[in-house]
């Protein structure tokens, strides 16, 4: 590559608000690559609820795994997990928790999942077109159960796009995990079966890097619509 072309590429590379000649925002693409380097997280909708399973990357034997947060309740009926820069995720979680509280105080009702997702993605999108900012380097899985009983699972991208899924994965092994989910997910799956499927999918994708003690699992059951973070003993019992 000539020095002139290299200089042109570096110019587009450094500006979030400038399109390259082939119509790309390179900083946004770098944010997507950051997510791909993050530890894997997945979500599964079930006939009786929804499940989120996340792998926590523990870089040192001296690190206390339980101190690493990877799943975050937003409201009683909504929970999220993330892949990428978790400090970015915490900013979005704090904002979403505040929005949920404000909605309840104002309307005396629970906020719907899509409103949380749209607000989160609005902020992400603003950061792709404002000078002096950078894109959020995180992809969020947002799961919840509405007051009418409908079960929702969304994936939000770093650039502000979102999709609804029956089952989805994000992070470094998302392709392998999604292939497993495509083969084994079915509409009749229960929450307990989904927990086992999620753990098994992570185990198959991560291979020797898998450690069940480094997994976070959050469930919301349709009967009570309450977020519950499962402890290690319960997780191990469900995956036997």
DSSP 8-state code for residue 154 = E
Domain boundaries, the chain: 23-238
* Digit-coded pLDDT (tens) for 14-32: 777 788 888 888 888 899 9
* Digit-coded pLDDT (tens) for 34-45: 999 999 999 999
Q: For residue 7, what pLDDT is reported? A: 45
**Mean pLDDT, the chain, as a whole number?**
91
Query: Per mean pLDDT, which range of 109-118, 126-135, 201-210, 220-229 is the poorest?
Result: 126-135
Taking phi over 0 as left and psi of -120 to 50 as alpha, with beta for the rest, 237 belongs to alpha
* Digit-coded pLDDT (tens) for 127-149: 998 888 899 999 999 999 999 99
Can you point out the beta strands (E) in the chain?
A: 41-46, 49-55, 71-75, 78-84, 138-145, 151-156, 162-164, 167-170, 215-221, 227-229
CATH superfamily of 23-238: Aminohydrolase, N-terminal nucleophile (Ntn) domain (3.60.20.10)
Percent of the chain scored above 90 by pLDDT?
73
Pick 198 or 14 by higher pLDDT. 198
Q: For residue 1, what pLDDT is reported? A: 47
Residue 111 confidence (pLDDT) above 80: yes
Q: How far, in Å, CA of 41 to CA of 170, rounded?
A: 5
Long-range contacts of 176-184 (CB under 8 A, 24+ apart): 176/204, 176/205, 177/40, 177/42, 177/201, 177/202, 177/205, 180/204, 180/205, 181/42, 181/44
Residue 10 confidence (pLDDT) above 90: no
**Residue 212: partners with Cβ closer than 8 Å, 6 or more residues away:** 199, 203, 232, 235, 236, 239
Residue 153 confidence (pLDDT) above 90: yes
Reduced to 3 states (helix: H, G, I; strand: E, B; else coil), residue 116 is helix
Q: For residue 9, what pLDDT is reported? A: 54
CB 226 within 8 A of CB 76: yes
Q: Which of 86, 98, 103, 7 is nearest to 39 (CA)?
A: 86
Total H helices, total E strands in the chain:
7, 10
- Per-residue pLDDT, averaged over 74-81, amounts to 97
For tokens 């009926």, name the residue.
77
Q: For residue 61, what pLDDT is reported? A: 81
């Amino acid at each position: 590559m000539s020095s002139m072309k290299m200089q042109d590429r570096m110019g587009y590379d450094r500006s979030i608000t400038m399109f390259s000649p082939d119509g790309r925002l390179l900083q946004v693409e770098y944010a997507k690559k950051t997510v791909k380097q993050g530890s894997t997280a997945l979500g599964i909708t079930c006939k009786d609820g929804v499940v989120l399973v996340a792998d926590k990357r523990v870089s040192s034997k001296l690190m206390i795994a339980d101190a690493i947060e990877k799943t975050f309740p937003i409201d009683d009926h909504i929970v999220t997990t993330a892949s990428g820069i978790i400090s970015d995720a915490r900013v979005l979680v704090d904002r979403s928790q505040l929005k949920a509280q404000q909605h309840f105080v104002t309307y005396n009702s629970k906020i719907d999942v899509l409103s949380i997702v749209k607000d989160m993605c609005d902020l992400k999108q603003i950061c792709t077109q404002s000078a002096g900012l950078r894109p959020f380097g995180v992809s969020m899985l947002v799961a919840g159960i509405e007051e009418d009983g409908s079960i929702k699972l969304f994936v939000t991208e770093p650039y502000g796009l979102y999709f609804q899924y029956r089952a989805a994965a994000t992070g470094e092994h998302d392709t392998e995990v999604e292939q497993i989910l495509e083969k084994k997910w079915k509409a009749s799956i229960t929450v307990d079966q989904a927990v086992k499927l999620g753990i098994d999918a992570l185990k198959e994708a991560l291979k020797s890097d898998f450690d069940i003690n480094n997994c976070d699992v959050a469930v919301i059951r349709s009967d009570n619509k309450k977020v519950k973070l499962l402890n290690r003993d319960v997780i191990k019992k469900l995956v036997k």
